[in-house]
Structure 1
Amino acid sequence: MKILVCITFILGSFLTLYAQGEAGISGKVSDVKGQPVSYANITLQRVDSTFVTGCTSDEKGKFVISKLEADNYLLQISFVGYITQVIRLDNLSRPLDIGTIQLADEAIMLQGVTVKASNVMKRVDRQIILPTDKQVKSSTSGYELLSHMQLAGLKVNSIERKITTVSGGSVQLRINDIVASTAQVQALRPDEVLRVEYIDNPGVRYADTEVEAVINYIVRRAESGISGGVSFTNAVTTGFGDDNVYIRATHKLSQFGLNYYLSYRDYDDRKVDEEQMFSFTEAKERRRELIGISTPFSYQDHSIEASYNLTKPEKYIFNAVFTENIYNSPHGDYGQLIKETEQKDLYNYTRSEYNYHSPSLDLYYKKFLPHDQFLALNVVGTYIGSDYEREYSEVHSEAGAPVSSYDYGTDGSRYSLIGEGIYQKTFDKITLTGGIKYMQAYTHNRYTGDVNE
């Protein structure tokens, strides 16, 4: 039995300019076309409808409510000619930017529709979910937060850092609309997450036909400060570890980040059991049982990431990320005893070794335009250098020469450049997306080996 002990330690941020202990709410009110709604009525109530405070949005549709006690609230936004929207805020105990609240024209409201409070806001192409304070406090990473939010249609494994749809499809993760790595989501502080955008039917905007859903963490940033943390998951009785260290420094509009993620396995007695069946057109089926024999297995997977982000809210975003992935697996070995009716027992042995490194540079720029439009440009350059060797042999249980053996290897290099430009405009009931994508790659592989049988 393997015993796993998870040790998680997060260093608190310091020198930050936003207040952590005082609850507050901020946001922006607009119509479905993206035009700001000035002087909208903002009312804050407790869940028993007791009035707490209120204000109006300014000429740009923005509002701020500060100096609140930790409690459960209902935020009501209303304006003449628009459908009132009520947002439920459970366990509010920190500053919360709920983003843009869209009010629909009252003319399209159907008879019998009842306005209900919810922490989920629906848009044309996505749902916007506000995490509760309880969910935030019980989480130590972006994966755990998503697990506690229990979004319909998603399967979240916070230990293995995997997120899929219930059908097993891939999920693209983003932070502030920028594609995020495993290390970035693991290092994400839940108390920095303002809201989560869930797109369960992504369109061509995301330019990846294998993506079945998109999760976009909207994260606030301190104006100035340094934050960091470490996360360790290690086994006591065997070689197993998933460890992460990160640090971020923010000054005004700029943020610098450094992440290091290490995943390793080192097993002395891995076993692989199999059953094989061979079907022939003019002969009976052959069945073989392969019983695993203890063999070593090990790998080390290193991910180093340096990033720079320059953001001016509602104006532009520039993001640059350099990543180096280094993978070394000296033992992907396994051995088996092969049993087959009316055949002598055989032993097989597979020895494999795999190494690669893959540096990449990702440059991203997004410009926000008036009337709910934006233009995004992305350029990614990558290199992959890999070396793979595999040997396989079968011998009789009695001593003797191998009855079957072969080996092969691949030494490969691949260079690629991907460029993309996207324009998007959101209307009342539809979203228009257009763009262009350029891809170029060069691959050079050298194959070696021999086959005796």
Structure 2
Amino acid sequence: MKKTLLFLILLMFSCVSIAQSYKEAKNDSVKTKCVDEDNDISYHKNVHDNDNAVSDSLTLNEVVVKSSRAVNTNGALRIFPTDKQKESSSTAYGLLSKLALPLISVDEVAHTISAPSNMGTVQVRINDVEATKSDLASIDLSAVKYVDFIRNPGVRYGQNVGFVINIIVKKAVSGYAVGADLSHTLSFPNSSDNLFAKFNFGKNEISLSYWLDFSDKRKLRYEETDQYLMPDNSFYYITRRDKERRLKNIWHNLQLKYSFSETGRYVFQATLGTDLSNCPIDYTLRENIVNQDCDTVMINSSEKSFSPVLDLYYNLNIGKNQSVTLNATGTYSDASYSWSYGGNSPYSYTSDGDSWSLFAEGIYENRMRLFTFSSGLQYSLKYNSNKYLGDAEAINTIHNSLVYAFAQIKGNLAALEYTLGTGVSCMYYRQASDSYKYWLWRPELSLAYPFWDKFKLKYYLRMYQNPPRLEYLGDIDIRNNELEVSRGNSALFPTRVLDNSLTISYQLPTFYAEIETSYRNNYHCYMSQINRETDENGNTNFIFTRENQRRILMFYVNAYTRYDIIPDKLTFAATGGFFRFFNYGNTYKHHYSSFNGAFRATAYLGKFTISADASNGWSFLEGETRVANTYTYSLAASYKYKDFILSLIWQNGFQNDLVYNKAYLVNRYVGKIQKLIDGDMGNMLTFKISWHLSKGRKYEDLKHTVNNKDNDTGIIKGN
């Protein structure tokens, strides 16, 4: 680990030296990048941009920018994709993977964008509003201007959001575009197919998209070795090992969108969509081995869900400097789930759940001479009801709501860039006899100062809250096996999080490097708790639940480097850092250190594009569980022919049985060594064909795409 960390640090500073030498040699031919940083990324911004600049020369407020690909602004890492990157990508997933953003994992095959599991979710936006999976697949990449990567989201981005990716594109006002993106895995039954069409006429746009995902895995296996401390202080040992496993999933999405806009004045948009998810088969044949005696049990589960969503959006520009934005989203979810466990102590239950949710938001913005002021109000309301039948019988009904008001100013004091924001939120929760109102003051401060010509120093502070997941709140016991029971806790309350970071960056036209130091404190967070109980029949049960406990601390130092070694021909990006975790429960204390790193290299060879990436996996400690994800790597090649892009992606080559992750539970009552093996992910070979056809396209101001739907039904599931 030390050698790897030293290698990355030396690599980073070697690249600085090379890039500096390159800059000096080309000093007469390359102009230094100059950017007017009056662009706020912490709230919705309605820019009306008729920029028609080409890839290597971007005109921003009459300042010519030559060859700069990355800029560390006050609130974001802003990256300008090259024409080669856009032309060789079939979807936004492909483009973002080529940008190799720090701490972000993009899977072009699964169409997922994720971050390390305990660092928050990734929110992807198009023109500063949340984008759906269909939006990212059907985006016109030729209209992409730049991408803002925000590691410390502002006061209005929502709950548990650790990263925001904001893709800025120009709006089409005429013509049409149709296309398809088809991905099929050759090594096992797995596909992801998207069809879309967009039509623009005058002030109107109509778009329709359909998505179908299918997966049938037969090489999943789970293994665990457990030890339990019994009441008489003896240990009970058991090994659980899957002999067979099959997991089949089918997912449909249909989205219809209509927008009506007048350039520089107003935009109205209505979006109607629906998700239909079905997991008809989740079958496991498992061996339980105790003292060389083997007992085989069968575990079956199935799940269905249906979730329509309606979103309405309106933006009005008042004069040249003011705007008002209104947004409302309503979602309904209907879900059913069944689970059964065989063996000597059979156990089964079913669950039906319904949920209704409403999200509404209003934002006012005023771009004044000295600074930009914005304020807003968010309101969300959710009703959730789950009925359990069988060996687990209960009816859980949860009401919760959130009101959040915020205000922010952003400006410059000489060379110092600043953002100052504050917000107040009130969360209401009620389930049976448990209820509370949780108030939180949520400040935000960002300071950035350039020095030594190409260096910039930035400090960021914010406070926010993380509410518990609905499945943690259900007031019910669910048996996992003969010894373990999962128990919900209706008394959980949100976690208060204080986040600090200090970043130093260095920038040249074709080179960017930074080192970020971050410290995060989760106060009174909901953490795992395992209790031992003996029932009236003398049987010992180990209760797995969650309780609000002392705190979790995370400290890390992470370096990131991206370098256009040969502009438009060869690019390289790498990230790596040291992470330290401190977990303080009511009855335990655990510490853990890890190194996490990844790199990506891409070569553009005419109509061919070849890329390679690798990651050592994400290792972390949360509560009493230490998780080590496996190292992964992939090799991809694509060829562009007219309106088609043909791609072949090889993931985790030469690994027949990929150990997806390992987990270690170090509780005083229960010790576990767990292993998840995914044979389907080893030597995974996927073929993609993308087709995009457009005609008569012209672009004007920016548009709006949204995804505030809520599909969380809160059903507690068996393990």
| Common fold by TM > 0.5 | yes
Is contact 1:307–1:319 with CA below 8 Å preserved after alignment? Answer: yes
1:333 partnered with 2:245:
no
Q: 1:385 to 1:73 in 2, by over 3 A?
A: closer
Q: 2:180 aligns with which of 227, 230, 244?
A: 230
Give the distance between the partners of 1:414 and 1:133, measured in 2 at CA: 44
Deviation at 1:389, TM superposition (A): 0.7
1:205 partnered with 2:156:
yes
Structure 2 residue aligned with 1:412: 353
Give the distance between the partners of 2:197 and 2:293, measured in 1 at CA: 60
Structure 2 residue aligned with 1:375: 324
Give the distance between the partners of 1:391 and 1:127, measured in 2 at CA: 48
Percent identity, please. Answer: 27
Structure 1 residue aligned with 2:96: 146
Q: Which has the higher contact order (CA 8 A, sep 6+)?
A: 2
Is contact 1:47–1:74 with CA below 8 Å preserved after alignment? Answer: no
Larger Rg: 1
For residues 112-167 of structure 1, the C-alpha deviation after alignment (integer angstroms, 9 at most, x for no partner) is xxxxxx34455543344321112112211111111112234433222222223467
Q: 1:168 to 1:47 in 2, by over 3 A?
A: farther
Structure 2 residue aligned with 1:302: 252
Give the distance between the partners of 2:135 and 2:83, measured in 1 at CA: 22
Q: 1:429 to 1:135 in 2, by over 3 A?
A: farther
Secondary structure at the counterpart of residue 336 of structure 1: strand
Give the AA of the match of 1:443.
Answer: N
Deviation at 1:313, TM superposition (A): 3.6
Q: 1:72 to 1:179 in 2, by over 3 A?
A: closer
Matched length: 352
Give the AA of the match of 1:404.
Answer: S
Give the distance between the partners of 1:199 and 1:374, measured in 2 at CA: 23
1:245-394 equivalent positions in 2, closer than 5 A: 245-268=195-218, 270-280=220-230, 282-341=232-291, 344-370=293-319, 372-394=321-343
Secondary structure at the counterpart of residue 186 of structure 1: helix
Structure 1 residue aligned with 2:125: 174
Q: TM-score, normalised by structure 1?
A: 0.70
Q: 1:143 to 1:71 in 2, by over 3 A?
A: closer
For residues 158-215 of structure 1, the C-alpha deviation after alignment (integer angstroms, 9 at most, x for no partner) is 2222223467531211112221111210222321212223322211222x13111222
Deviation at 1:300, TM superposition (A): 0.5
Give the AA of the match of 1:227.
Answer: A
Q: 1:140 to 1:409 in 2, by over 3 A?
A: same
Is contact 2:219–2:246 with CA below 8 Å preserved after alignment? Answer: yes
Structure 2 residue aligned with 1:31: none
Moved more, 328-337 or 160-169: 160-169
Structure 2 residue aligned with 1:421: 362
Structure 2 residue aligned with 1:193: 144
For residues 76-113 of structure 1, the C-alpha deviation after alignment (integer angstroms, 9 at most, x for no partner) is 967xxxxxx55124xxxxxxxxxxxxxxxxxxxxxxxx
Q: 1:430 to 1:164 in 2, by over 3 A?
A: farther
Is contact 1:124–1:430 with CA below 8 Å preserved after alignment? Answer: no
Is contact 1:374–1:424 with CA below 8 Å preserved after alignment? Answer: yes
Q: Cα RMSD over matched residues? A: 3.1
Give the distance between the partners of 2:366 and 2:153, measured in 1 at CA: 16
1:441 partnered with 2:391:
no
Give the distance between the partners of 1:391 and 1:300, measured in 2 at CA: 21
Structure 2 residue aligned with 1:58: none
Structure 2 residue aligned with 1:217: 167
Q: 1:149 to 1:71 in 2, by over 3 A?
A: closer
Give the distance between the partners of 1:353 and 1:391, measured in 2 at CA: 10
Structure 1 residue aligned with 2:65: 87
Deviation at 1:279, TM superposition (A): 3.3
Gaps of at least 5 residues in structure 1 are: 1-45, 51-61, 79-84, 90-117, 395-402
Q: 1:130 to 1:405 in 2, by over 3 A?
A: same
For residues 394-415 of structure 1, the C-alpha deviation after alignment (integer angstroms, 9 at most, x for no partner) is 2xxxxxxxx2111101111112
Q: TM-score, normalised by structure 2?
A: 0.45
Give the AA of the match of 2:363.
Answer: I
Deviation at 1:346, TM superposition (A): 1.0
Q: 1:77 to 1:433 in 2, by over 3 A?
A: closer
